Amino acid sequence: MDVIDLKEAIFGDDVFPSPAMYQYYKNLKNNTIVINSDIDDSILESAILPLMQMDADPEVKEIKVIILTCGGDIYSGFAFVSALERCTTPITIQLVGIAASMGTLIAMAKSPYITVVCDSFTVGLIHSGSTYLEGNVNSVKDTFKFSEKYEKKIKDYMLSHTKIDEDLYDKIERQEYWIDADEMLELGIVDKII
């Protein structure tokens, strides 16, 4: 991004910069990605592409990802998980406040280069996702079948990336399973409480 584009992105038509945009670019300059909204397809530009650029830069020695989210879209969220797990630069994922639903699933990302931390007041949420069905009977059936298949994929991901076993998963899969920092540590979702 050249200087003119950056100025436009930060200032827009205002004399003073947008505090959020100013902080976003300041964080990127410090190899920090902040996710503090619902996970949606904007994560490509706001997190995935910057992450890939940081990882490709030999000058970058560590990347920090700070997450505070109530969750969001699983497809966009898992695109971010895949990007995190492909990185070879050390990454610290720090959960603050709430990392629910897709935020909890992102926290389960694992590789030799990823460390996940949270403070003692952080909470997470594990639950079944929701989907929207519309169309004719056949398209609704097709979407339902695909959703069941994808739910199995998420289950396999959770079982392979945490200490959650089959019994616990079967108990919690159809409920809103809120977890605090201590339980996230016990279940292997986070590596350390800071």
Reported as a single tens digit per residue, the pLDDT across 12-69 is 666 666 788 889 989 999 999 999 999 999 999 999 999 999 999 999 999 999 999 9
DSSP 10-79: HHTTSSSPPHHHHHHHHHHHTTEEEE-S-B-TTHIIIIIHHHHHHHH-TT---EEEEEEE--B-HHHHHH
pLDDT at 21: 84
pLDDT digits (tens, 9 = 90+) for 90-135: 999 999 999 999 999 999 999 999 999 999 999 999 998 777 778 8
State pTM to two decimals: 0.89
Confidence of residue 3 (pLDDT cuts 50, 70, 90): very low
| 3-class SS of residue 132 | coil
What local confidence, expressed as pLDDT, does residue 18 receive?
78
